[in-house]
């Protein structure tokens, strides 16, 4: 066995083999895979082999599309069969909400180049004749849906990898992974110790155990899962005899997926009484075996299936496949460089290996070889969970995700499992004020504050929700008096040291402020993609505070630590610094009433230490509401005291608490972009307009400079613009197609209702050569074409007089 390799991939399931193949495809041949038994010995061998593109996250859907198209390529390269059946599939909708979700998915597919279509009950009957369409409104038909042979496909990946120079060592159990001081790894196996530059954890069912060898906790959990294969069914035989094949049918109401298997059918369930498996760890001796049949937990599901597919009631059961596979808390894979652990890569938590495995392999290989993936993959980035996550949180979240696998996913939905988890000192005070809570990165965040008859639970919806009136009330209070909100959901970083300024100048594309000042700056990847949107405050020379998205803490810290230099100390202080923001025309009077400091000379983008009430604070004049506003930071131990000071003083100035729903409406008035919506690694600074914050004149070779300069010289081909939309009861959410002259020319990034301007607003990309003020377009919202026009003048404070004045 070879004992030196560039990459050691641990695990020979479909995911490990895909990673190995993609590493060779992108040019690394000195790579090896270590499998403790035979290939496919985890979840892979007993999978139903189904694949589909449908995924709530657009980039995940694109990667699923890539995976499915890859199989033909694999067959051609290797001459092996993946056992492909491209039979197409329908996803049924039995109520308006489910249908709305399918309409929204169909709309996204238009600009992704996926040829899905909405079909009615009559067409469903023709496509999938064994379906009882009583109560069905319609379905989404996807011609790409199909199934394959799991073992054949995994071996095809393996053969293609070997053809590219990779080595595969089976019956080679990894016992330890020990890091050397230079960052490389000793991978201790039963057959000897391999020295590898990089380690990839593709341990599937054992990914938790493999991670623990390096002291890493991976937030995933195995769940039991069951599908049945029937004996021959006359109606299916008739289809086969006529030269056809029955397509897939996903029936979310019955939480089932169904396809033809031989001359019968195969049906699997995501049942509500589901069971987590191997809670305290996956036994090493588990291998090519199944779990005992468990009809009890799928009795209700089977009864429902008999109604939807009456032929099943007459069919005998040929076999039951009951096995475990792993899920992350949100059901998406865990992929990428593990934060804080050099040269250790994750390719685990893949719950749909045959829909996603190819995309996971491609993404990881690009990241390892080219330094970054080609698109925004945050939805499956291992860094989307922080170090606050624990097995106690993961398990209930995974159970919830399994149970909601086929549920309608609403844009405003707040999932209840494992909550409240992380709270600030304000939790009970805000609850008493009517806070209706949401969740970000494990943290409870008020969405709005219900008053009087306003609902204390926001009903999930694709349309304007029942929080609409409360949100409008809060927005109007901010614009006419003063609103107060916590700053707990900002990611916050403290950068100190004699080289702090030089380092920031290299890491950030924008200007780094002088002492006492604040600046806004994008952070770019080497390829010029947006990887951060930061506010930088210089408290004094050698001491800076940064704020950015709360949910991107592990993502940003990973980047900072990868680029750390001597003379700079970087700390994540997101939960060690808290406080409030106040915004609105009365904000200055409210703050003045709480401090002996003179704030009349505190200019827009100034930062200053001052005592507010009894509390030493850092106060900076900036507000994402686009209004006159202040962010007031303090030690969380003093936060309740600071609250009472501000709240009592604020009463005579009309102060009201406001939540994230109001914040998102307020920022739309000024067309301010939002991280992971307008600003993400899918876009460049020039495309989004953030290039106005790049300092091309600074004498530093900041990361991404040459790409940004090229982008500026060539000019982007698309541009982020704002629209006023003639919406009715549903506003833009994200990824709605933008039509011009009957053709899709762009897509929306986010939108909502401006309660201040009483207009529906959207942000989205258009080809640069089509952008003109007032341009009339159509935006497809939930299957309806809504007229919209480009607007360039902000709806509030267009000249910035209030914000800056």
- Out of 7, 24, 50, 779, the only residue in the binding site for ligand FAD (CB under 6 A) is 50
Q: Which of 103, 266 has the CB closer to ligand FAD?
A: 266
What is the rounded CA–CA span in Å between residue 743 and residue 740?
A: 5
Q: Is 668 in the site for ligand FAD (CB under 6 A)?
A: no
Q: Which of 164, 353 has the CB closer to ligand FAD?
A: 353
What is the rounded CA–CA span in Å between residue 789 and residue 793?
A: 12
Span interacting with ligand FAD, options 48-56, 305-313, 433-441, 553-561, rule CB under 6 A? 48-56
Show the site string, 330-369: x = touches ligand FAD by CB under 6 A, - = not: --------------------xxxxxx--------------
Is the alpha carbon torsion for 717, 722, 724, 729 positive or negative? positive
Q: Which of 346, 684 has the CB closer to ligand FAD?
A: 346
Strand order in the sheet with 248-251: 117-119, 138-142, 89-93, 248-251, 256-261, 264-269, 221-230, 317-327
DSSP category for residue 768: G
- Residue 108: both structure tokens together: 């996204």
What is the rounded CA–CA span in Å between residue 416 and residue 753?
A: 26
CB 50 within 8 A of CB 257: yes
Is the alpha carbon torsion for 468, 469, 472, 477 positive or negative? negative
Query: Whole-number minimum distance, CB 172 to ligand FAD, in Å?
Result: 6
- Out of 42, 359, 491, 737, the only residue in the binding site for ligand FAD (CB under 6 A) is 42
- Out of 49, 254, 584, 751, the only residue in the binding site for ligand FAD (CB under 6 A) is 49
CB 507 within 8 A of CB 680: no
Using a 10 angstrom Cβ sphere, with 0-12 exposed, 13-18 middle and 19 or more buried, the burial of residue 652 is exposed
What is the rounded CA–CA span in Å between residue 22 and residue 18?
A: 6
Element (H, E) at 471: helix 468-480
Q: Which of 203, 659 has the CB closer to ligand FAD?
A: 203
Degrees (nearest 5) of the Cα angle 300, 305, 308?
135
Query: Whole-number minimum distance, CB 28 to ligand FAD, in Å?
Result: 19
Degrees (nearest 5) of the Cα angle 463, 327, 156?
110
Give the three-state DSSP class for 410: coil
Query: Whole-number minimum distance, CB 222 to ligand FAD, in Å?
Result: 9
Q: Is 450 in the site for ligand FAD (CB under 6 A)?
A: no
Residues 496-555 that bind ligand FAD (CB under 6 A): none
What is the rounded CA–CA span in Å between residue 778 and residue 787?
A: 5
- Out of 22, 46, 395, 705, the only residue in the binding site for ligand FAD (CB under 6 A) is 46
- Out of 247, 323, 359, 373, the only residue in the binding site for ligand FAD (CB under 6 A) is 323
User: Which alpha helices (H) appear in 670-755, and where do they start and end?
Assistant: 685-688, 705-714
- Out of 8, 9, 25, 44, the only residue in the binding site for ligand FAD (CB under 6 A) is 44
Span interacting with ligand FAD, options 35-43, 469-477, 479-487, 750-758, rule CB under 6 A? 35-43
As a dihedral over the C-alpha atoms of residue 791, residue 796, residue 798, residue 801, rounded to 10 degrees, the angle is -170
Q: Which residue has the tokens 């530059």?
A: 197
Q: Which of 50, 579 has the CB closer to ligand FAD?
A: 50
CB 779 within 8 A of CB 736: yes
Q: Is 34 in the site for ligand FAD (CB under 6 A)?
A: yes
Residue 342: HSE in the Cβ half-sphere, 13 Å Cα cutoff = 15
Residue 117, φ and ψ in degrees, nearest 5:
-145, 155
For ligand FAD (CB under 6 A), the number of binding residues is 41
Q: Which of 119, 266 has the CB closer to ligand FAD?
A: 266
Q: Which of 8, 761 has the CB closer to ligand FAD?
A: 8
Query: Whole-number minimum distance, CB 282 to ligand FAD, in Å?
Result: 8
- Out of 7, 48, 523, 662, the only residue in the binding site for ligand FAD (CB under 6 A) is 48
Query: Whole-number minimum distance, CB 151 to ligand FAD, in Å?
Result: 11
Q: Is 15 in the site for ligand FAD (CB under 6 A)?
A: yes
CB 534 within 8 A of CB 548: yes
Q: Which of 15, 656 has the CB closer to ligand FAD?
A: 15
Span interacting with ligand FAD, options 4-12, 298-306, 430-438, 471-479, rule CB under 6 A? 4-12
β-partners of residue 720 are 765
- Out of 269, 270, 325, 503, the only residue in the binding site for ligand FAD (CB under 6 A) is 325
What is the rounded CA–CA span in Å between residue 704 and residue 683?
A: 13
Query: Whole-number minimum distance, CB 787 to ligand FAD, in Å?
Result: 41
Give exposure, 154-182, as e/b (b: 16+ Cβ within 10 Å): bbbbbbbbbebebbbbeebebeebebeee
Q: Which of 25, 545 has the CB closer to ligand FAD?
A: 25
* Concatenated DSSP letters of 488-502: TTEEEEEEESTTHHH
Query: Whole-number minimum distance, CB 177 to ligand FAD, in Å?
Result: 9
Q: Which of 284, 696 has the CB closer to ligand FAD?
A: 284
Q: Which of 43, 230 has the CB closer to ligand FAD?
A: 43
Q: Which of 351, 495 has the CB closer to ligand FAD?
A: 351
- Out of 5, 8, 16, 119, the only residue in the binding site for ligand FAD (CB under 6 A) is 16
Span interacting with ligand FAD, options 243-251, 323-331, 591-599, 654-662, rule CB under 6 A? 323-331
What is the crossing angle of helices 353-370 and 14-25, to 10°?
A: 40
Show the site string, 112-141: x = touches ligand FAD by CB under 6 A, - = not: ------------------------------
Span interacting with ligand FAD, options 317-325, 566-574, 586-594, 710-718, rule CB under 6 A? 317-325
Residues 605-634 that bind ligand FAD (CB under 6 A): none
Give the three-state DSSP class for 576: coil
Query: Whole-number minimum distance, CB 433 to ligand FAD, in Å?
Result: 45
CA distance readout (Å), 764 to 492, 674, 730, 791: 28, 12, 17, 12
Q: Is 14 in the site for ligand FAD (CB under 6 A)?
A: yes
- Residue 341: both structure tokens together: 């652990």
DSSP category for residue 669: H
- Residue 294: both structure tokens together: 């468990």
Query: Whole-number minimum distance, CB 157 to ligand FAD, in Å?
Result: 10
Residue 12, φ and ψ in degrees, nearest 5:
-110, 45
Span interacting with ligand FAD, options 39-47, 191-199, 558-566, 682-690, rule CB under 6 A? 39-47
Span interacting with ligand FAD, options 45-53, 365-373, 602-610, 658-666, rule CB under 6 A? 45-53
What is the rounded CA–CA span in Å between residue 704 and residue 692?
A: 15
Q: Which of 335, 738 has the CB closer to ligand FAD?
A: 335
Q: Which of 202, 686 has the CB closer to ligand FAD?
A: 202
Span interacting with ligand FAD, options 22-30, 318-326, 479-487, 729-737, rule CB under 6 A? 318-326
As a dihedral over the C-alpha atoms of residue 706, residue 712, residue 717, residue 723, rounded to 10 degrees, the angle is 120
Query: Whole-number minimum distance, CB 262 to ligand FAD, in Å?
Result: 16
Residues 172-231 that bind ligand FAD (CB under 6 A): 173-174, 202-206, 210, 225, 227
Q: Which of 326, 688 has the CB closer to ligand FAD?
A: 326
Element (H, E) at 353: helix 353-370
- Out of 41, 151, 394, 549, the only residue in the binding site for ligand FAD (CB under 6 A) is 41
Residues contacting 98, CB < 8 A, separation 6+: 92, 137, 252, 253, 408
State the residues that interact with ligand FAD by CB under 6 A.
10-16, 34-37, 41-44, 46-51, 173-174, 202-206, 210, 225, 227, 321, 323-325, 350-355
């Amino acid at each position: 066995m070879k004992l030196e390799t560039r990459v050691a991939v641990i695990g020979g399931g479909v995911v490990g083999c895909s990673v190995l193949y993609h590493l060779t495809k992108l040019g690394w041949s000195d790579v090896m895979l270590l499998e403790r038994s035979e290939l496919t010995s985890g979840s892979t061998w007993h999978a139903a082999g189904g694949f589909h593109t449908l995924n709530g996250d657009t980039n995940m859907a694109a990667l699923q599309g890539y995976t499915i198209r890859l199989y033909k390529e694999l067959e051609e390269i290797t001459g092996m069969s993946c056992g492909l059946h491209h039979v197409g599939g329908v996803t049924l909708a039995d109520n308006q909400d489910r249908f709305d979700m399918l309409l929204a998915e169909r709309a996204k597919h238009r600009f992704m180049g996926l040829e899905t279509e909405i079909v009615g009950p009559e067409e469903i009957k023709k496509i999938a004749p064994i379906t009882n369409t009583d109560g069905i409104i319609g379905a989404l038909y996807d011609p790409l849906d199909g199934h394959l042979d799991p073992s054949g496909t995994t071996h095809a990946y393996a053969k293609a990898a070997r053809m590219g120079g990779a080595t595969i060592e089976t019956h080679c159990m990894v016992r330890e992974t020990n890091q050397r001081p230079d960052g490389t790894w000793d991978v201790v196996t039963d057959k000897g110790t391999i020295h590898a530059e990089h380690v990839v954890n593709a341990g599937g069912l054992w990914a938790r155990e493999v991670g623990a060898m390096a002291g890493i906790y991976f937030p995933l959990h195995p769940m039991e899962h069951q599908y049945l294969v029937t004996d021959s069914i006359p109606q299916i035989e008739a289809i086969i005899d006529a030269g056809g094949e029955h397509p897939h049918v996903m029936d979310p109401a019955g939480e089932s997926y169904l396809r033809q298997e031989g001359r019968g059918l195969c049906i699997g369930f995501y049942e509500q009484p589901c069971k987590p498996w191997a809670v305290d760890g996956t036994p090493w001796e588990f291998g090519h075996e199944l779990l005992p049949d468990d009809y009890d937990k799928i009795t209700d599901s089977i009864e429902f299936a008999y109604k939807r597919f009456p032929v099943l009631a007459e069919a005998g059961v040929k076999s039951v496949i009951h096995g475990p596979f792993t899920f992350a808390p949100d059901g998406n894979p865990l992929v990428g460089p593990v934060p804080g652990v050099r040269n250790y890569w994750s390719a685990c938590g893949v719950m749909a290996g045959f829909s996603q495995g190819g995309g996971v392999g491609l993404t990881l290989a690009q990241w390892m070889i080219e330094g970054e993936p080609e698109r925004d993959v945050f939805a499956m980035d291992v860094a989307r969970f922080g170090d606050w996550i624990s097995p106690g949180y993961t398990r209930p979240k995974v159970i919830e995700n399994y149970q909601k696998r086929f549920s309608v996913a609403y844009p405003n939905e707040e999932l209840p499992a494992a909550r409240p988890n992380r709270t600030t000192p304000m939790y009970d005070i805000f609850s008493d004020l009517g806070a209706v809570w949401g969740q970000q990165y494990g943290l409870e965040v008020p969405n709005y504050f219900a008053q009087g008859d306003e609902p204390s639970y926001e009903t999930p919806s694709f349309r304007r929700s029942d929080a609409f009136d409360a949100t409008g009330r809060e927005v109007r209070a901010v614009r006419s008096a003063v609103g107060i909100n916590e700053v707990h959901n900002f990611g916050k970083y403290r950068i100190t040291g004699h080289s702090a300024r030089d380092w920031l100048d290299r890491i950030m594309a924008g200007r780094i402020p002088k002492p006492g000042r604040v600046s806004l700056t994008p952070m770019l990847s080497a390829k010029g993609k947006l990887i951060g949107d930061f506010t930088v405050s210089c408290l004094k020379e050698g001491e800076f505070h940064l704020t950015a998205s709360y949910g991107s803490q592990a993502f940003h810290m990973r980047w900072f630590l990868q680029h750390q230099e001597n003379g700079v100390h970087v700390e994540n202080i997101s939960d060690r610094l808290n406080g409030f923001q106040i915004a609105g025309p009365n904000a200055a009077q409210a703050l003045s009433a709480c401090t002996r400091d003179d704030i009349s000379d505190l200019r827009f983008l100034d930062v200053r230490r001052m005592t507010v009430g009894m509390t030493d604070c850092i106060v900076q004049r900036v507000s994402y509401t686009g209004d006159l506003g202040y962010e007031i930071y303090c030690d969380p131990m003093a936060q309740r005291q600071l609250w009472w000071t501000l709240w009592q003083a604020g009463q005579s100035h009309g102060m009201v608490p406001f939540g994230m729903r109001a914040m998102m409406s307020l920022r739309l008035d000024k067309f301010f972009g939002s991280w992971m919506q307008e600003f993400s690694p899918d876009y460049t600074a020039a495309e989004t307009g953030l290039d106005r914050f790049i300092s091309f004149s600074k004498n530093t070779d900041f990361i991404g400079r040459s790409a940004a300069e090229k982008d500026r010289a060539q000019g982007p081909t698309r541009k982020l613009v704002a629209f006023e939309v003639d919406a009715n009861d549903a506003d833009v959410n994200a990824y709605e197609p933008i039509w011009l002259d009957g053709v899709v020319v762009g897509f929306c990034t986010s939108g909502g209702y401006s309660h201040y301007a009483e207009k529906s607003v959207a942000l989205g990309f258009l080809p640069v050569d089509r952008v003109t003020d007032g341009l009339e377009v159509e935006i497809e919202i939930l299957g309806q074409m809504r007229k919209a026009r480009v607007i360039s003048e902000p709806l509030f404070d267009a000249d910035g007089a209030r914000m800056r004045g």
